[in-house]
Amino acid sequence: MMNINEQEISETPQKNDSEVVLSVNGVSKRFCRDLKKSLFYGVQDIGSEVLGLREKGDKLRSKEFWALDNVSFQLRRGEALGLVGKNGSGKSTLLRVIAGLIKPDMGFVEVNGRVAPLIALGAGFNPILTGRENIYANMSILGLSKKEIDERFDEVIEFAEIGDAIDSPVQSYSSGMAARLGFASAIHTEPDILLIDEVLAVGDSRFQAKCFRKLHQLRQNNTAFILVSHNSHTILTVCESGIYLKKGQMLGVGETALVMRKYEEDLFLDGDETTLSSNSSLIKPQLENDNFEITAIFFRNINGEVVESPTSGEPVSLCIECRISQIIENVGFTLDIKGLAEGGETILLMNSFSDKQSLSFSPGEHEIQVEMPYLGLKLGRYTMDVYVKKDALFHLDSVESFRFIVNAKESVSRGCFYQPKIWKTVSR
């Protein structure tokens, strides 16, 4: 893929570049939320087209919205492109436009070679025909002659591994079996471009691994593919470049890791990258003890500077500022951190009494610092409750629902927390 960003996107394809197998140029597609209006617009559009009066499709009519908004990119031979975005962001619509199943309202798509779409489970299959019959029907739609299909038929069946079910009607197949048959017949057409819309997700893990091995092989034989997946790990390991769609617009394009980071920030932080922590937001059920008051909660980085949001995997100190009016001994803190995305479950519970840390205070202002050599929380939004007690018994003060955001430098790994690590090989 060309290393392009939004500013550099070329409106005109580079026709002399024989490596480009797909060129999507300023593609926009509008849909209508209202069924009656949608039918009316459909008839209106056909009528205008027949009469040669078709208006430029750059305006939205009532109840219409852009499912794709000025999308442009190029795909080169053997390139693996990951397409990500939240539900309803336009990924499947883009694949449908590329496959020629729907027409864009603006822009155009140029394809240089054979496209094999694996867009919806069972799409392209006739449910009442057997698997065997469907392989013939499907591969001939993708442009293969009967002789070519005959030659490849055994390989397709061998790859799909669905046993005797090959002679049963496809309507009796499980989703995984339909995915196996779809993938096997699509790859054996030796396409120049393979479009894969989440269909592999329904296959069992052994079959998925086999598909990814096959995709790797196909790439070496110059097949390019676009892979839609909600699994960041898959996109990061399989694709070298990525596109992030949000409400039909291309918000990120280029190197996979960068695109995924932008997407995950939006996904986990709801696009809100500003900190939620602020002294004024401290929620205190009541001022419980005049002698001890939490006045602020914030973070410091390794240089002691106050940071709005700590970064996953980096050293950080969680700081609690308090005002104390008399000598208090044997004070303990409980910090209960919950993930907002995890449905408010406790992710980290820290208690200074269990850490055998008993703190004593003289009157004045103090800052308690919880030094963490690295922050294990991953990118996301969190809320923290803080409880302060004397002798683990008497309540001094508390703060509820202190909200904060954890940033990340790298793309999020799967799993619940960030684990710093170094991989080594040791010769023996």
> Which residues contribute to the site for ligand ATP (CB under 6 A)?
31, 67, 85, 87-93
Tell me the closest approach of the beta carbon of residue 89 to Mg ion, in angstroms. Answer: 9
Decide if residue 256 touches Mg ion (CB under 5 A). no
Tell me the closest approach of the beta carbon of residue 49 to Mg ion, in angstroms. Answer: 28
Query: Of 68 and 218, which CB lies nearer to ligand ATP in the complex structure?
Result: 68
Both structure tokens of 163: 């046993």
Q: Which stretch binds Mg ion (CB under 5 A): 48-56, 87-95, 342-350, 387-395?
A: 87-95
Decide if residue 229 touches Mg ion (CB under 5 A). no
Decide if residue 241 touches Mg ion (CB under 5 A). no
Query: Of 98 and 156, which CB lies nearer to Mg ion in the complex structure?
Result: 98
- 131 and 170 Cβ atoms separated by less than 8 Å: yes
Residue 258 φ/ψ region, left for φ over 0, alpha for ψ in the -120 to 50 degree band, beta for the rest: alpha
Residue among 418, 353, 365 at smallest CA distance from 392: 353
Tell me the closest approach of the beta carbon of residue 373 to ligand ATP, in angstroms. Answer: 38
Decide if residue 89 touches Mg ion (CB under 5 A). no
Rounded-to-integer distance, Cα 115 and Cα 124, Å: 13
Query: Of 90 and 339, which CB lies nearer to ligand ATP in the complex structure?
Result: 90
Query: Of 121 and 129, which CB lies nearer to ligand ATP in the complex structure?
Result: 121
- Give the H or E element holding residue 347: strand 346-351
SS3 content of the chain, % helix, strand, coil (to 5): 30, 35, 40
Tell me the closest approach of the beta carbon of residue 201 to Mg ion, in angstroms. Answer: 11
Q: Which stretch binds Mg ion (CB under 5 A): 5-13, 91-99, 116-124, 286-294?
A: 91-99
Decide if residue 93 touches Mg ion (CB under 5 A). no
Q: Which stretch binds Mg ion (CB under 5 A): 92-100, 140-148, 149-157, 300-308?
A: 92-100
Query: Of 92 and 189, which CB lies nearer to Mg ion in the complex structure?
Result: 92
- Give the H or E element holding residue 40: helix 35-50
Decide if residue 208 touches Mg ion (CB under 5 A). no
CA distances from 379 to 186, 235, 268, 283, 318 (A): 37, 18, 7, 24, 16
Residue 300 φ/ψ region, left for φ over 0, alpha for ψ in the -120 to 50 degree band, beta for the rest: beta
Q: Which does 74 bind (CB under 5 to 8 A by kind): Mg ion, ligand ATP, none?
A: none
Q: Which does 85 bind (CB under 5 to 8 A by kind): ligand ATP, Mg ion, none?
A: ligand ATP
Tell me the closest approach of the beta carbon of residue 36 to ligand ATP, in angstroms. Answer: 13
Tell me the closest approach of the beta carbon of residue 33 to ligand ATP, in angstroms. Answer: 7
3-state secondary structure of 216: helix
Please spell the DSSP secondary structure of 150-198, one letter per residue.
Answer: HHHHHHHHHHH--GGGGGSBGGG--HHHHHHHHHHHHHTT--SEEEEES
Q: Which stretch binds Mg ion (CB under 5 A): 84-92, 162-170, 174-182, 339-347?
A: 84-92
Tell me the closest approach of the beta carbon of residue 277 to ligand ATP, in angstroms. Answer: 32
CA distances from 344 to 13, 35, 272, 283, 428 (A): 48, 38, 18, 17, 47
Q: Which stretch binds Mg ion (CB under 5 A): 53-61, 88-96, 171-179, 410-418?
A: 88-96
Decide if residue 92 touches Mg ion (CB under 5 A). yes
* Site of tokens 């940033």: 407
Binding site residues, Mg ion, CB under 5 A: 92
